[in-house]
Each structure stands twice: as C-alpha cells, then as structure tokens.
Structure 1
Amino acid sequence: MKDGERNARAHPEGDTPAILSQVKRTSIVDTVTEKLIALIETGAVKPGETVPKETDLMEQLGVGRSTVREAVRSLVVMGVLESRARRGTIVVSPTINNYADKVQSSVLTWALRDLYEVRALLEGEAAAKAASHVTEVQTENLRKLCAIIEKRIESGKPYFEENRRFHLAVADASRNSVLISTIKSIIGVMREHRERIMREDPAVQPQDTIDHREIVDAIAAGDSDGARDAMRRHLYFAAQSVPDN
C-alpha cells in the first residue's frame, strides 16, 4: 500500500484521525437516537406506523447507514420500536419513557437485590470495555466527577445526580449504545431507593468515594478485569443496603 493510501485510510474524514472518529461515534449514535425519539414524541411518527426508510433517515439526519441502524436497534431493544416481517420497523410505544415505565411497574415484583445484580453485571462489563476504549478526556472527566462527589459528601450535600453522571460516564466510555441506554434506564428506575440510601446510610458515603477511585484507576490503567471487579464490588456493596423482606 502506498503512503498516500495509508494516510487516506488513517484519516478518512480529512484531517480527523480515525481514533477520534471512533471516540465520537457513540455520542453521534446517541444524538440520532434522541432525534428519533423526538419524531415519535411529537407525533411525526405515531404508534403503529412505520418509521421512515433508512435512506430517508440518513438524508434527514445527515448521518450514515450504520449510525441509523445502531440508533434504531437501540430503540428496538428498549421496546420503543419493533421489527416486523413485511412491514419494516414500527413504533410500538409513544415515548422512550414507556420503557422505563414498564421496568418501573415490574419493580413491584422484582427484588431490588436482583436489580443491583443486573446492574453489577452490565456496569461491570461497561467498565471493562471502558478500560479498553477510554480517552484521556473521559478519564479526566471521571476523576473530576470523583472529586465533586467527595466534596459534596464532605459538605453533607446530596450527590445522587453526580453519582448518576459518574456511572453513565463509565458506561459512555464503553462505546456500546445498548449498554448505555439500558444502564441509564435501570438507574432511573432505582433513583428513589438510591437517593434515600445515600441520605440515610452513613456507611455508603465513604465507601462510594473509595469504590469510585478504584474503578477510575483501573479504567485509566487499561485494566479491564480490575475495572470489572471494582464496579461489581461497588454495586454488590450497594445491594447490601436493601432490607430483607
């Protein structure tokens, strides 16, 4: 291969390095997913109707075919869209919140411990993938979130939102749009319980600061196994806050 060809492949979008394009990819898919959700929530595409063709979405949203497919796939997983033979992809739920609502209603029959176990499995893998894909900017953001959480704990202020941002930042670094969406939904479902525990259980706060630092250190070091184990330990400890029935 000639040097010119090699450089062209390494920089497929002009002067933008290929690795930078990969870093941006997850956020692009998320943006397209949000735009599709907006089409549904505004009634542009109603429940029971077929979503526009891939080529139409590509033109309308200004993205490539693979990005459109990933965004649609995410909404299928979340129960907002459904693929049907001979009809294509149709809208089955009016809003993205319908997915969280379905999960929320199921909490009555699911034990919170089970939800923590699901989070430990999913977020453990997200942390492991993050260790392989994280950028310096993302690592710095995670460290800043750790510092913010620690300051809020020291001053006795609530930190659920900062904690949520930390976990979603780890998920975002995994570059897996389905993991990101699913983790976000489950965290939303568990919000009330987690906020109460953060306020009422004094053991949770110092342990959170220790756990978060261990997770970030492992991710920054590129230690996938260590990141997975640290995240799972963190969430299994959190599960201990759930009272026995």
Structure 2
Amino acid sequence: MPLRSTVRTNLVDLVIEQMESLIASGEWQVGTKIPAEPVLVEQLDVGRNTVREAVRALVHTGMLEPRQGDGTYVRASSGFGAAVQRRLRRAGDLEAFEVRASLERDAARYAAQRRTDEDVTALRTALAVRDRAWKSGDLAAFVDADMDFHRAVAGAAHNSVLAELYDHLSDALRSTLQSVVGAPVPESVRNQYASHEAIVDAIEAQDPEAAERAALAHLSEGMAALRDTPDTATPDAAAGAGADRSKGAQK
C-alpha cells in the first residue's frame, strides 16, 4: 500500500509539472481551454483519476478555472500570477494602477540604459500596432495592443524578474486598462499616443531621465482619468462614497 501511494503521488506531480510547463511556455495560453479529460488521459498515458487530481491541484492554485458545461481554461501563467490576480481582485483599479505605474517607471528607465537595436524595432512595431488598434475602434484589440507595448518596454529593460512580474500584473490589470480607455475624458488622454511615442524616443536615445519623465507623464494622465471615474476608487473609498451618496439622498 505505501508503495502504491507513493507511485500515485509521483504520477500526479509529474502530470502537474507537465501542465505547468505547457502553460508557462505559452503552448496553453492564458484564456484558452485545455484539452478535454479523455484527450489528456491518452496523451499523458495515465489514468483518469491522475488527470483529475492534477487538474484539481492547478485549479486550487488558480492557474486553471473550470467552467461548468464548457471545460477548463487557463487563468494564469503561474501560481505566482494566480496569487497576484487574487490579490488584485480585492483592490480598486486606482490601487492596482499605482502598482503598475511603479513598475513601468523603472522599466522605462532600465530600458533606456540597456536596450538593443532589436528592442527599439520591437517597440516601434508595438507602437504602430497599438495606433492601428485605436483607429479601428476595437476596444479589446486596443487594450491587448497597449499591454503588448508595455510588455515590450519591460522586455527591453532586460530584467527577467521585472518582466515576469509585469507580465503577471498585465493579465490581472486588463479591467484597469479598460477603465482608463473608457473613462469620460478627452480622446488624447485615453489614447496617449504622444506620451507612448515619447517613451520610445527616449529609450532609443538611451536617455533614462527622459524615459522616466515620459512614463510618469503618461501614467499621471491615466491615474487622473481613474480618479475622475467613481467606479474605480479603492474598495474602502468606494464604500465611503456610497455612504456619502446615501446621506445626500436622505437629505
């Protein structure tokens, strides 16, 4: 009995490792559905119970998400990313954006110091894709393109920890970006093309101070837009605002 129990546990661990590797490598991308249980059983050459335990473990960490009647989807690219998402769900958009701002400021500075010619090309390409997405009027495509642009900046910083942390935050901050883009403010603030172009120009010129200033300018616009949007306050602030509105209504 002890021997069988050990072998069974090792099989589950091995299946978990393989699934985590598929997710981390991007073969199973965040937001996509993983293969059905019979397919996994056949491909992994293990029993159904082993597959179920492995999937259950990854659901518990937050990397996978079961959807009744539909299947199981990839929710985060790592256990750490899942933990970040859980924490951000308890925060307001403004709080989350402030954390993102800290990372982006440092990423822009480091990118200006360490960028390669290939990084500059990638940034120019990402900026052009972002601009086309804005002009298309497709909000979802624009948010994706904006996230890809900032991931490119983080990548140009050549700090693997910063890039990984920003990548995890990006998936969790999608709603924050949508709040900024959808805020009732001028188009220039929601699009921010000029400030994004200034970031690329400073990185290409290898000017860390200018890159940081450009990042802060664009981030300040975004945070101002969030502050002017009632629904994006922190949970405590939102509760306070709701109480104030209630008192006003009673008067």
2:161 matches 1:183: no
Q: Which residue of 2 aligns with 1:221?
A: 205
Q: For 2:217, which of 233, 239, 242 is the aligned residue?
A: 233
CA contact (8 A) 1:197 1:204 kept: no
Q: How does 1:76-87 map to 2 (within 5 A)?
A: none
Q: How far apart are 1:199 and its partner, in Å?
A: 4.2
Q: For 1:160, which of 139, 143, 150 is the aligned residue?
A: 143
Normalized per residue, the structure richer in helix is 2
1:101-141, Cα deviation, whole Å (9 max, x unpaired) = 32222234423222222222211111111111111121122
2:96 matches 1:115: yes
Q: Calculate percent identity across the aligned residue pairs.
A: 26
Question: What residue identity is the alignment partner of 1:104?
Answer: Q
- SS across alignment from 2:225: coil
Moved more, 99-108 or 178-187: 99-108
Moved more, 150-159 or 198-207: 198-207
CA contact (8 A) 2:97 2:176 kept: no
2:196 matches 1:212: yes
CA contact (8 A) 1:171 1:179 kept: yes
Moved more, 133-142 or 148-157: 148-157
CA contact (8 A) 1:132 1:224 kept: yes
Change (3 A) 1:126 1:157: same
CA contact (8 A) 1:116 1:236 kept: no
Instruction: Supply the RMSD in Å over aligned alpha carbons.
Output: 3.0
CA contact (8 A) 1:119 1:235 kept: no
Change (3 A) 1:41 1:215: farther
Change (3 A) 1:44 1:186: closer
1:23-64, Cα deviation, whole Å (9 max, x unpaired) = xxxxxxxxxxxxxxxxx78424899xxxxxxxxxxxxxxxxx
Separation of aligned partners in 2, 1:41 and 1:239: 44
2:148 matches 1:174: no
CA contact (8 A) 1:146 1:166 kept: yes
Q: Which residue of 2 aligns with 1:192?
A: 175
Change (3 A) 1:42 1:166: farther
Q: Which residue of 1 aligns with 2:82?
A: 101
Q: How far apart are 1:177 and its partner, in Å?
A: 0.4
- SS across alignment from 1:138: helix
Change (3 A) 1:108 1:157: closer
Separation of aligned partners in 1, 2:143 and 2:14: 28
Q: How far apart are 1:200 and its partner, in Å?
A: 5.2
